Amino acid sequence: MKNLKLFTKLFLFTSLLSFMIACTTTETVEVIKEVPVEKVVEKVVEKEVEVVKEVVKEVEVVKEVAPAPTYAKSINVRDVFFFTEGFTPPRGGSFFEHRISQQVYEGLTALNTPMVTRGDSAVPVPNLAESWEISGGGTTYTFKIREGVKFTTGNSLTGQAVVDSLKRSIHVIELDKATARFSWVTDIVSIDATGDMEVTMVLKNSFAPLLAILASKQFLIVDAAELKKHEEEGDWGAAWGATTSVGTASYQIDSWVAEQRLTLKRNKDYWGGHDGVGPGADQLVFSNIPENATAELMMAKGEVDVALQMDPISLKTLDLQPKVYTFSYPSLITCNFLIDRRNEHAANDEIFKAIHMAIDYDGLLSVVAMGLGSVHQSLILPGMLGHDPAISNQWKYEPEKAKAIIAAEGYPDGFSIKLQSRAGACGSVVYTKGIEFLQASLKKAGINAEIVQSTGAKFWGQIIDGTLKDMGISGLGATYFDPDNPASVRATSECFLLGIEEHNKTVADKLKDLVAQGRAETDNDKRHTIYRELNALMVANCGEMTVLQVADTVALRTNMTDGIAMPHGFSLDFRYLRKAE
């Protein structure tokens, strides 16, 4: 029994860590700013009543105005490499690997990146699947595969190729013993090619997030037949594919020098993309330049065209350069203060509210994050179903009111608590600085906070054990752009680890019920209502006190245009990027 408990703790710990972790020259091409609206018809077939309903969705699309007669020779990109398992799905979970994978692979579905960046509702749109039908009460998905698409290997995209790719992803996930991270795959009954250009997936239960998940890295489409030729010890080419690309996207891997350089070359046979935008350069050259000072100098000299992963101070310095500009976009990462609801003080609902009022959100954004982000108090992000600004921006810094509540609850002189500080950061918020700022904020509300040094292993170990008595800080990220991600991971995993079930079983049961409802419901209006209710419950009751949505910032030379962010890929969408030489 002791071994079983130990195994369970280790399993939960490793699962949680996996979730914590982020052109043209002379051509005349522009991205339409006032974009047209394209009607995408999704057929929902209900076998029980033998009726076909057409659900017409209006999907914003970005179109290329004119074809690209010429291409920039090269776009040089500064990055900081973090290579773990590679670029070919489903392996490789670092933000760097996500960035590259989204440039060389595509999914059956896609997200409209400008809409995600603005925080608009970004429902999945057709990509390598040009349409789909949902039947059997949401358990059967039939995809019509787009014709005329080729892998960079020269092989054609077919229904069977898609089946092999999806089955390969599941095979590698099972090989890596990572099924817990993708539990929905155990619900798959079958994946079959039901025509030359048709794929049917049957699930045991309705699973609404499927279309969003098919746009995420782990299930992007690869040439599984080519990977099979390079199989080693049953890995279906995973080792070989770590630094090789066999996708359909606008770029493909040309060369890789570990810890130094990655070169992507233009896919000359690219089919055009779901939004009609093709690549603008013959090659993208990513260089590993860890030192910010070096990257600053190279940007100033024009040796680098685009700089990713710059720190806030360097970005402010670059803003002073006449031939450099920067822009920010909201990432899918949040900064959060965590406390167990079984904590002596947090167990009191009124004091729990007072703690929220004792956090200086605007100060944290301006002083610690240096303005790179936005105040956001919910794990359901803008653009996700269930998001509501009235929920995500409900708490204000009111230390005097918080102090009065604490006094009324029996603590006229306030109370004491410990804050665990550790290495790490969520975006521009360095954990140590965030904790120091929190300490000062709490003091004004009569909460005396003592900072104690800790580690990630200790902090999360105590959360898993249910022994956390202190407050701490952590960055939490969404790994696929659907409210099911923060709901299933945060609401029924971490919220429960932080004591919600013992504190309020009624709320805990309601959270579980809403998560199940959201997964089963296929109507987006109804899903929004479900997740909005769940969102409100999480913010009011869960021990994850979200404070900021982090912003990613990119520096570009002034001859670079159309830098469109891809928040779900932790990057720019390099298809859009144009360079005047």
Q: Sign of torsion, CA 196 197 201 206?
A: negative
Highest CATH level, class, for 330-551: alpha beta
Two structure tokens written together for 264: 């992507």
Q: Tokens 């999360």 label which residue?
A: 460
pLDDT of residue 579: 94
Two structure tokens written together for 95: 């933000």
Residues 360-411 have pLDDT tens digits of 999 999 999 989 899 999 999 988 899 999 999 999 999 999 999 999 999 9
Cα 228 from Cα 418, distance rounded (Å): 54
Two structure tokens written together for 88: 């070919």
> Do residues 178 and 165 make contact, with C-beta atoms less than 8 angstroms apart?
no
pLDDT of residue 96: 86
| Residue 576, number of CB atoms within 10 A of its CB | 26
Give the residue range(s) of CATH 3.40.190.10 domains in the chain. 2-323+558-579
pLDDT > 90: what percent of the chain? 64
Q: Does residue 525 carry a pLDDT above 60?
A: yes
Strand 283-288 with 261-266, pairing: antiparallel
Residues 214-243 have pLDDT tens digits of 998 899 999 999 999 999 999 999 999 999
Q: What is the DSSP string of 54-111?
A: EEEEEEE---BSS--SS-BS-EEEEE----SS-SSTT---SHHHHHHHHHH-B-SEE-
Cα 16 from Cα 489, distance rounded (Å): 8
The number of CA neighbours under 13 Å toward the Cβ of 240 is: 16
Q: What one-character DSSP code corresponds to residue 22?
A: -
Two structure tokens written together for 472: 């701490």
Strand 75-79 with 283-288, pairing: parallel
Give the residue range(s) of CATH 3.10.105.10 domains in the chain. 330-551
Cα distances from 144 to residues 166, 185, 217, 417, in angstroms, run 15, 21, 21, 57
pLDDT of residue 572: 85
Question: Mean of the pLDDT values across residues 131-152?
Answer: 96
Name the pLDDT band for 169 (thresholds 50, 70, 90).
Answer: very high
Cα 12 from Cα 369, distance rounded (Å): 30
Cα 117 from Cα 374, distance rounded (Å): 13
> Do residues 373 and 427 make contact, with C-beta atoms less than 8 angstroms apart?
yes
Element (H, E) at 332: strand 324-339
Name the pLDDT band for 142 (thresholds 50, 70, 90).
Answer: very high
Highest CATH level, class, for 2-323+558-579: alpha beta
